[in-house]
Amino acid sequence: MRALLFALPFTLLPLAVAQAQTHEHEHEHEHGSLGAHEHGVARLSAALDGKMLELELASPAMNLVGFEHAASSDADKHKVAVTRAQLEKPLELFAIPAEAGCKVVSQELESPLFEEAEHHHEHAGDHEHEHSDIHTHYQLECSSPDKLQALDLAPLFKQFPATEKVQVQLIGPNGQQGAELTAANASLDF
């Protein structure tokens, strides 16, 4: 399943290229290149295969936390903790219907902001040039996957209003599709 999720961006690459807009800048993450880093824009890959639903969200930290620098003040640390707690609830974040019987099998949240600020002093003068991203990966097992009719991002847009649009790539029972969702158009049928 994970291989399917990783193959998704390459399968839908022509669609992504067609919908690509000018990005502000490129960003290198410690785990490799992330590609476009555009404030207000996030990317979501979703794959429903049998009873397994995988969701992978990538977003500039600015969209979710409101800043990208190392959290040094108590207010910043609190904001990071609240954001992480919200991201640890994918069933709520993606409005997964209870009747689908989905449970979280695994989840990973990655961001320099979630780690200890060990490099904070080292790079103190560089903060205006740093760009942090947040990556999440969720694997859900659903007892009634037929009850998953749509991917609804309304709660994500509500909790993180700085996220203006999400570029979605989806593989589901009806094949592959891509869309750009906004708060006004926050749903995509499986």
Residue 121 lies in a domain: no
pTM of the predicted structure, to 2 decimals: 0.76
pLDDT digits (tens, 9 = 90+) for 87-146: 999 999 999 999 999 999 999 999 999 984 334 444 444 444 467 999 999 999 999 999
Residue 61 lies in a domain: yes
The three-class DSSP label of residue 67 is: coil
Total structural domains within the chain: 1
pLDDT band of 166, cuts 50, 70, 90: very high
The Cα–Cα gap between 107 and 139 comes to 6
Residue 24 lies in a domain: no
Angle at 5 between CA 33 and CA 173, to 5 degrees: 150
Residue 29 lies in a domain: no
pLDDT, residue 130, reads 63
- The backbone torsions φ and ψ at residue 31, rounded to the nearest 5 degrees and listed phi first, read -100, 10
pLDDT band of 36, cuts 50, 70, 90: low
Residue 64 lies in a domain: yes
Residue 27 lies in a domain: no
DSSP 43: E
**Amino acid making up residue 52:** M
Residue 140 lies in a domain: yes
Residue 88 lies in a domain: yes
Range of the domain at 151: 2-17+34-115+130-189
**Amino acid making up residue 144:** S
